[in-house]
A = this chain, B = another copy of it.
Amino acid sequence: MNAQPSPSYQARLDARSGKLTSSTANLAPGHVQANLVILPKTLAADFLLFCQRNPKPCPLLAMSDPGDPAVPELGRDIDIRSDIPRYCVWRNGTLVDQPTDVKAIWRDDLVSFLIGCSFSFEEAMLDSGLPVRHVEQGCNVPMYRTAIATRAAGVFSGPLVVSMRPMKAAEAIRAIQVTSRFPSVHGAPVHFGDPALIGIADIGRPDYGDAVEIRAGEVPVFWACGVTPQAVVAAVRPDFCITHAPGHMLVTDLLNSRLAAF
């Protein structure tokens, strides 16, 4: 009798075979999911330094060797060229394709960066009975460009992008405690309250994702967001770049519970 693959490995096998081409939200509960940025080696050192200098928006979980599609730190038998349900392919800063596999365009100089994702801390929030409004409303999290600058590294620079979840103050205090335990998936919020203080002009009009309801007695709470590195890379318009399609993440074998710092 063969053992069943773990839920996370099964998700990757399904993406690899073409059976899974949709969002990975709620797949393999308890497992860390990761954002993907693939860059040519010539940009890799700058991008690694950018991540090092900006750990809240860019918590780097793993980085591959050039040309190597394996990411052994994050799971068994990962082939980064096929194990994500859908990719975005960028040439000179323009989105040119959204394939389910990038084997045909793989190059020996490509380096993969896997970056922590808010799915992990949202799971911890939901487990603590905290509200996650965009999950309740069945839409995407609202995200905003801010007036907070990231720390530049080589060619990479740009504004911090934040995600927003509204809740009551007492819930926000608990959310700060819960998410502080997960520094490798964005950690504690960067701001709460008045959006204007971080350069957000209209909370009802997110720059990415969907607007969500903010109820009476609630304050918006803002976390550093994994869209930041994607926006920073897009601004550089590299000749070639691959990312995951939004919401279509790498499902890793790591457990969210293992990321807890305490």
| Interface residue ranges, A against B (CB under 8 Å) | 169-170, 172-173, 176-177, 180, 188-194, 197, 217, 219, 262
Contact = CB atoms under 8 A, between A and B. Distances in A.
B193 A169 contact: yes
B169 A192 contact: yes
Contact of A262 (B193, B217, B262): B262
A260 to B, nearest CB: 11
Contact of A169 (B177, B180, B191, B262): B191
Q: What secondary structure prevails in chain A residues at the interface with B?
A: mixed
A176 B188 CA distance: 10
Specify how many copies of this chain sit in the oligomer. 2
Contacts of A197: 169, 217
Nearest to A190: B170
A197 B170 CA distance: 11
A166 to B, nearest CB: 12
A224 to B, nearest CB: 12
B193 A193 contact: yes
A182 to B, nearest CB: 13
Contacts of A173: 176, 188-192
A197 to B, nearest CB: 6
A192 B192 CA distance: 10
A177 B174 CA distance: 10
The 3 closest A-B pairs by CB, nearest first: A176-B176, A262-B262, A169-B191
A192 B180 contact: no
Residue from the set A170, A188, A262 with the largest chain B CB neighbour count within 10 Å: A170
5 contacts: A172-B192, A173-B189, A180-B180, A192-B192, A197-B217
A177 B188 contact: yes
A135 B219 CA distance: 28
Contacts of A169: 191-194, 197
A169 B190 CA distance: 8
Contact of A177 (B176, B191, B192, B219): B176
Nearest to A177: B180
Contacts of A176: 173, 176-177
A226 B173 CA distance: 20
Contacts of A194: 169, 217
Contacts of A188: 173, 177
Given A173-B176, A176-B176, A219 B191 contact: no
A217 B193 CA distance: 10
A170 B193 contact: no
